[in-house]
Structure 1
Amino acid sequence: MPDSPASSRRLLVALAGQPNCGKSTLFNALTGVHQHIANYPGVTVDKKSGAYRDDGRTVELVDLPGTYSLTSFSLEERVAREFLLTERPDVVVNVLDASNLRRGLHLTFQLLEMGVPVVIALNMMDVARRHGMTIDMATLSRRLCVPVVGLVGHKGTGREDLRRAIREAADRAGQTAPATLNYGDLEEGMAALQARLSELPSVQAAVSPRWLAVKLLEEDAEAERLLHDCLTNAHGLLDQARRTAEDFAHRKGLSASDHVAGCRDHLAGDIMATCVRHQDPGRVSLTERVDRFLLNRWLAPLFLTLTVWVIYELSIVQGYELTKVTWPLLAGLRDLAGSALPSAGFLHDPVARSMGLWMVDSANALLNYVPIFLILFALIAILEDSGYMARIAFILDRILHRFGLHGQSTLPFILGGVFAGGCAVPGVMATKGIPDQRARMATILTVPFMNCLAKVPLYTLLINIYFVETKGLVLFYLSTITVIFALLVAKLLSVSVLRNMETAPFVMELPHYHLPTVTGVLRRSFDRTWLYIKKVGTVVVAVATVVYVLLQFPGLSPERDAHYLTRAETAIVDFRASLEGNPLVAAIPDQASLVTLVNVYTDYRADRLLASSREAAQALDARITESHPAFAPFLLRSRDPHARAAQKALRDLAVTRKSLRREMKDERIVNSVLGQLGRSLETVTQYANFDWKINVALLSSFAARESSVATLGVLFDQAEGENRTLEDRMGAEQKAAGYTAMTALAVMLFFALYPPCLATTIMVRVQTGSYRWMVFSIVFPTVLALTVASLTYTVGTALNLTGLQMMTAVYLSALGLLLMVGLFRQPFGRTLARPAYADARQDGA
């Protein structure tokens, strides 16, 4: 018998289901390692696809975003629905949580109305049995007119049965009619609308007329758009749908959409009554017993604080310790890149080398976060799979919602550094799971206000100069005022630039607690980290190139270049003079060999610092002896007086060269586009009392927050022979210029609200998928920070206040405004979360 057409072609299968139904675990069990993670075009929702071989053909499996329905409220719902309508999968596997069947059936009914071949994957059968539930799958299959397969996804139980059901459903596509839900008093008008839609070939070819009729009566905006796409004139049908819905609402006092939802819930309850039996309906489940503690009014904050502390400690603190292991590897890659690029000159490097190493350094700065991300994503996966992540959102949502945020905004803020020591990059990354798009954007744009670890050095520097007697109080103010500003800014954004952004009714389900699987946690951690590496790698090159050009050009003038060249030639003459009569001078007969020697010496000293043991150092010496035998006496320890004299002379020359190159670099920065911009900005920043040096330091900190102090250390350089700390040098110079603690306060407030660093702005671009929002994340905080800093300095100076008095005034004003905004209630309500076990007990009633 010849193969049917379906058996000889590639099958496209979609996995659809509600959040926390075990869909991802089932996807991993079906596809194994043959997976690909990307994003749906134009959005940041994960697109996970994989493939497996079955009965001689390839089955491509696409894991759709978890969604409770196929309406147009949320991004996930629209993405899932768009995929089903445009891609037309051969089979849709509807994954249901067997222990929470009634809630999941709402999505099932909508899939059946779409007319797609459906297979029910009844997952978590082991959990249902532990809850005393027995499900009659044969009766359930007859009620829904689709095959039903029982599964335990994390153990792989039922996997082959599901593959067989998918294969058979694809072979029978179009041969059986799906079940249709009867909508009672609305059915007559719906049937009439469906009949008219069925007469239109363009509609028949695009979508199920039954599904479209239901959506039109529900006044679904995306369904109306779809009808317009199918017809040149859809006003007649839309008018009919609107009249039918209005007549029904007038007769019954209930909207058509509410009636549809009620009919679905009634049918779900009827199916539960005929297909599910509870052995002990009054038994209190383990999940409910655990929630009595974890969601207790007084204990919930303590458990939440402990959870947040563990996440922070393991991912940020311990993960950062792991970077001490990975950084030598990245440094080794840099050395490898350096050896492949053109060699460095004595003073000037080829553009290919300097730009190439700049790119490598930029990439390394981001790749250095990989250990943090691996741990962070693993912990997030554990929280998600266990069911506690939904409870975190539930605990804090009421407070954060008042400021346009979401309960799941908590974790990004913690990772960003609520008090001090976090990092905005993983904080922005962690916003991916926030389902409300408006709240997600507000979180992305305010996470950088948190006190990342890189902000602390500048705070420490200025506090130790201007607030020596009140260090603790000022640091407390800075640590908490950023949270206050973040909440206020989130509220401002949500009612202004984000007001038209899509939002969704707050639908939250507190699922049963589950024990996460090691395989699932590790797979998700590696998948998300790899996605970060790929995406950031494509953006960082472009942004780093722009920053490089702005810092390098126009470069030194010919006169200054000649000045440094003369000093270099003098140092070389002195070096050769010190080696006069030394037989080792034969190893450097010309200028090229001397430059090579200095480069080898520089690389050797860097590698020697990375040598972690005596054996590693000896191996390095052996490599030098083998690769550069003529240079070895200049580098390796020796008692030979000629070698020791040569080593001292080379060390002095290398120090001079390093000093000259640093001075040239500093002068090039001052004269660069960014440096000149710092001077030109004085006309604007004068109201905050910032001079060009502070401007350049703040501009350079855009590449990395730590650069602010490093740049100030260069700009406030010390005279030859002095050995003073940066606090002494900067404090003496600024106080001599008339700067006070009010200036320092303005700088710190500006820095607290300053735009995110380069790595974070790249992550904003990745998470939003928009250069427009990336630019906004730079411009808006700059304007806000400069306004706050200027007002602080101007008002404080006019009132003749001290720095501490003005800091207290700013803090109390911001706190008072926060309380006023927080007490203002939203004009719309939020749906309360319902525990999954509440439905289970209702089903058993």
Structure 2
Amino acid sequence: MKKQLTVALAGNPNSGKTTLFNSLTGSKQYVGNWAGVTVEKKEGILNYKDFNINVIDLPGTYSLSPYSMEEIIARNFLIDEKPDVVINIVDASNIERNLYLSMQLLELDIPVVIALNMMDVAEKRGYLIDVFELSKKLGTEVVPIVASKNKGIDKLLDAVVNTKKSKSNNFIKYNNKIEKKIKEIENIIECNDSKYDLRWLAIKILEQDDIIIKEFKDIFKEEAAATISSYLDDESQTSIADGRYNYISNVLDDTIEKTKEQEKTLTDRIDDILTHRWLGLPIFALIMFSVFYFTFDLVGNKLLNIIDSFINNTLATSVNDMLITMGVSEWLNSLIVDGIIGGVGGILVFLPNIACLFLAISILEDSGYMARVAFIMDRSMRRIGLSGKAFIPMILGFGCNVPAVMGTRALDDENDRLVTILINPFMSCSARLTVYTLFAGIFFPNNEKFIVFSLYILGILIAVIAALIFKKTIFKGESSPFIIELPPYKVPSLKGIIIHVWDRLKGFLINAGTLIFGASIILWFVLGFNLNGPAPIYNSLGAQVGKVIAPIFKPLGFGDWRSALSLLSGIVAKEVVISNMAIIYGLEDASKALSVSLLENFSQISAYAFMVFVLLYTPCIATVGVIKKETNSWKWTIFSLVYQFVVAWIVAMIVYQIGKIIL
């Protein structure tokens, strides 16, 4: 029987931690290239020799001090769960900074193996690292690896197994004054049956760790707490940090040789242009416009037409003929052809556009450019009271608002985090792209990319205005400083891009096969029946519901029950808006193509107002759920739903009314 082993992966953002996780477990988790990509621990299983190894990918952190949600998640797991071994991933090309976390990990009562990653990059920069001597100095196993190329993985796993068998406790010796304080605090707290290692606890108290001190005061008597408080001062905190950095410096002096002078790298030369004070934003806008050109004109629409022809002509016609030949009843034929194929197929035709968008954004993220966007946006974000770090989850929102809202955990300031959660749904997710693709293709066939691009820009502008209002009223206060590591530019790995695009497409397809499939069947029934039984569509239960809410949308230019019912169902998932429209118009007149029906019921300006409303109104049910989870408040969740609907109504109404005057 194989032995069980729990291994945690800990390291700085951009150290290659998640790449190593994928290499070890074969997990399909997205491999990003900027801070904040992993906001929760991820688990995977690895079988190696006599061991079943459970691997946990912890959030990327720079230290174990509880200053951000990510650091708290990582530290709590290490302390509460006590994994058998911690693999500390260290970027060999930025070894001095990375080793600060290593020092903190070595102070915990947990075996540590250091995976010295990106050795190829370090060698290119002229660093020669004596791995054996480094291991000796640190008192723990150090294994050189290149995670992106699967180099050194077996040696790393051997080290993990051996470290579990014979762990060593090595820790930094601080100056005499600090060591004396550590010993005295240990003597005071040694009677406590704590989950913490005593030395580590004493150091954290001297570092004035808020969480530890609060927990300490709850456990110990008042006079003991007062005695401990007398040890707390800024000098001790500074001395501990200095002690770690001095130790690191001394270790590296003996273990690293620089063979060539540092030259201006290709990354630096590219950044001179892409992060330029005046050129940065225009270049970002141009790149994003190029993404939409690629998504629609260059590739997406060509593939869309092929799939559309296959589903709505070849497949639907063939299935219909087959069902008639089989003698299937008319209502079942309608359910399958109009309900299922019309609904689910109406969404699947947009798969090429969705895939192209995911592909383009994945390339930008994996290349390292998106981290620069956050840096570029910092100045603009500060004008509305947020830091550039808040723009990172906003960028994630272009893919899906669910992980984007979860990504706000990387924000240190709670007010900034709440504001970012409240404005994030204004960032246009990929599901909304199905609506834009259909409407822009029908009503603006020669300017499709410009129309869709304008919607994404509008979403950002509305988010910015909302954030400014929030920071001036409800969430007053200064934003936390913004510090971000800009990773080197790299050529995105084909494997990583494929995994990322497939993961997102898989979610889209699962929605099509579950939510949209179910919603299509339900809608077919509510459009074919009322409380008295079978009914024509204009007198169906669905039509009655649509007619009740339709007047709300009349000032917006689409006060028709069909549009109203489609928008109502879009709260389940935004893709459902299009699938339901396909079903409604298909049942009403099967001889007409959806595009013809829409042209008869919308004008150009009402179509644009409809897209604006879809952009801004109440997010899907999954996003609502994660907003509740992340805010832990029904008050903010309900507020989010109401204010987003109101904003969507007002903006769409303004667009339509002004558009009528101009046009």
Same fold (TM over 0.5): yes
8 Å Cα contact 2:111-2:163 kept in structure 1: yes
User: SS of 2:6's equivalent?
Assistant: strand
Letter in 1 for 2:499: R
Quick one: which of 82, 92, 103 aligns to 1:88?
82
Counterpart of 2:98 (choices 101, 104, 122) is 104
Q: Structure 1 unaligned segments of length 5 or more: list them.
A: 1-6, 417-423, 465-472, 565-663, 718-723, 732-740, 808-845
Amino acid at match of 2:288: V
**2:489 aligned to 493, 513, 516, which one?**
513
**How big is the shift at 1:335?**
9.7
Q: Which of residues 199, 204, 208 is equivalent to 1:215?
A: 204
**Pairing 1:460-499 to 2, within 5 Å after superposition:** 483-493=460-470
The separation in 2 between residues aligned to 1:363 and 1:210, in whole angstroms, is 60
Counterparts of 1:271-670 in structure 2, within 5 Å, are 271-301=251-281, 303-315=283-295, 318-319=299-300, 321-324=302-305, 345-346=329-330, 348=331, 354=335, 371=352, 374-403=355-384, 407=388, 426=400, 435-436=410-411, 437-438=417-418, 440-448=420-428, 454=435, 483-493=460-470, 506-530=482-506, 551-552=526-527, 555=530, 664-668=536-540
| Residues 1:77 and 2:71 are matched in the alignment | yes
Output the CA distance in 2 between the equivalents of 1:124 and 1:407: 28
Closer/same/farther in 2, CA of residues 98 and 677 from structure 1, 3 Å limit: same
How far is 1:269 from its partner? 3.0
Deviation at 1:16, TM superposition (A): 1.0
Query: What do the CA deviations read for 1:328-387 (whole angstroms, capped 9, x no partner)?
Result: 7877999999999x98644x559xx84998577666666666555555555445444433
CA contact (8 A) 1:449 1:752 kept: no
Root-mean-square deviation (CA, aligned residues, Å) is 5.2
For structure 2, the 5+ residue unaligned runs are 32-36, 412-416, 571-575, 590-595
| From 166, 170, 185, the counterpart of 1:178 | 170
Q: Deviations over 1:225-270 (max 9, x none)?
A: 6558xx655766655554432xx24xx5xxx555544443343333
1:270 equivalent in structure 2: 250
Alignment of 1:147-186 (within 5 A): 147-173=141-167, 176-182=168-174, 185-186=177-178
1:508-549 CA-partner distances (Å, limit 9, x unpaired) = 112233343333333344345446655886766787788778
Distance in 1 separating the partners of 2:455 and 2:53 = 56
Of 114-123 and 258-267, more deviation after overlay is shown by 258-267
Aligned amino acid, residue 421 of structure 2: M
Amino acid paired to 1:131: R
Query: Does residue 189 in structure 1 map to residue 164 in structure 2?
Result: no
> What is the identity, as a one-letter code, of the residue corresponding to 1:171?
K
What secondary structure does 1:296 align onto? coil
Partner letter of residue 190 of structure 2? S
- Asked whether the equivalents of residues 343 and 349 of structure 1 are also in contact (C-alpha less than 8 Å), the reply is no
Residue 30 of structure 1, aligned match among 4, 24, 36: 24
The answer for the alignment partner of 1:764 in structure 2 is 623
The residue that corresponds to 2:563 in the other structure is 697
**Residue type matched to 2:164 in 1?**
A
Residue among 174, 188, 198 paired with 2:190: 198
SS at match of 1:510: coil
Q: Indicate yes or no: 2:106 matched with 1:119.
A: no
Q: Where do residues 39-54 of structure 1 align in structure 2 (5 Å cutoff)? A: 45=39, 47-54=41-48
Q: Where in structure 2 are the equivalents of 1:763-782 lying within 5 Å?
A: 764-765=623-624, 768=627, 770=629, 778-782=641-645
Deviation at 1:122, TM superposition (A): 0.7
Q: What is the SS of the residue equivalent to 1:672?
A: helix
Aligned residues: 627
Counterpart residue identity of residue 17, structure 1:
G
User: 8 Å contact 1:431–1:444 — kept in the other structure?
Assistant: yes
SS at 1:89's partner residue? coil
Does the 8 A contact of 2:308 with 2:349 survive in 1? yes
Q: Secondary structure at the match of 1:59?
A: strand
Decide which structure has the larger Cα Rg and report it. 1
Distance of 2:475 and 2:523 partners within structure 1: 29
- Which shows bigger deviation, 151-160 or 779-788? 779-788
Cα pair distance change 1:260/1:491, threshold 3 Å: farther
Q: Are the equivalent residues in 2 in contact too, given 1:72–1:78 (CA < 8 A)?
A: yes
Could you tell me the TM-score, scaled by structure 1's length? 0.61
Residue equivalent to 1:141: 135
Secondary structure of the structure 2 residue equivalent to 1:10: strand
| Distance in 1 separating the partners of 2:514 and 2:382 | 35
Deviates more, 1:291-300 or 1:102-111: 291-300
Percent of residue pairs identical: 27
User: How many angstroms apart in 1 are the aligned matches of 2:441 and 2:366?
Assistant: 41
Question: 1 CA distance for matches of 2:133 and 2:13?
Answer: 25
TM-score by length of 2: 0.75
- Show the counterpart of 1:674: 546
CA–CA distance in structure 2, aligned partners of residues 223 and 363 of structure 1: 53
Once the two structures are superposed, residues 727-764 of structure 1 have per-residue CA deviations (whole angstroms, 9 ceiling, x without a partner) of 78889xxxxxxxxx9xx78x966863457579x51452
Q: Report the CA distance between 1:95 and its aligned residue.
A: 0.6
Q: What's the counterpart of residue 244 of structure 1?
A: 231
SS in 1 for 2:646: helix
Structure 1 residue 218: Cα displacement = 3.8
Report the residue type matching 2:137 in the other structure: R
**Is the contact between residue 124 and residue 152 of structure 1 (CA under 8 Å) also seen in structure 2?**
yes
Contact kept, 8 Å, 2:363 with 2:497, in 1: the verdict is: yes
Deviations 1:704-736 (A, max 9, x none): 55589989989999xxxxxx99878889xxxxx
How much has 1:13 moved relative to structure 2?
1.1
Distance (Å, rounded) in 1 between the aligned partners of 2:405 and 2:627 = 10
Q: CA deviation at 1:157?
A: 2.4
